[in-house]
Amino acid sequence: MVTILLPALALAIAVPFAAPPMAIETSLPRGATEVWIYPRFAIRELATYGLVAGWLLWQLQSRGPSVVARLIWWAPLAVAAAGVLVLLPFILVHGAFREVFADSGGRIVLRFAARLAIGYGYVALAEFVRTRLLQIEAPGEA
């Protein structure tokens, strides 16, 4: 169970260090206040991962470890898909769907692929460690 929550802890630590949006098109007049409704990257990632971790923990409690062992391999895909779904409302609010995907479509696809690669790498590492620990414990029980 702790393995499911480790990435959320890392993201929570990163939230205070998240930078403001990089490129604001128009400069504001002196004394004006900028209101940016688009959440910072780390906050979006924390929300996204929190949703998937909550789903996995709920599955663990309601269905048991054997089902979660199979579902955990779907988690990276769920995180990547949830990342897109969390981003989508903010793009739609600004009415910039076409512009965002025309200008940043390649980066969005690259980020999606990176999330999948990192997610599956993390799941593989966690499974390797779990399997190795079970192998180490098994001879001691006999």
In the chain, where the domains are located: 2-15+40-141
What is the C-alpha separation between 96 and 92, in angstroms, rounded?
A: 6
- Residue 24's φ and ψ, nearest 5 degrees, are -100, 125
Give the dihedral sign, CA 68/78/110/37. negative
Average pLDDT, the chain: 77
Helix (H) or strand (E) holding 58: helix 41-63
Structure tokens at 140: 């001691």
pLDDT in tens, 86-115: 777 777 776 777 777 777 778 888 888 888
What is the C-alpha separation between 131 and 127, in angstroms, rounded?
A: 6
In the chain, the amino acid numbered 87 is L
Residue 40 predicted with pLDDT over 80: no
Give the dihedral sign, CA 121/126/127/129. positive
Is residue 91 classed as helix, strand or coil in its secondary structure?
helix
pLDDT in tens, 1-36: 566 677 777 767 766 665 555 555 566 667 766 555
What is the C-alpha separation between 46 and 8, in angstroms, rounded?
A: 6
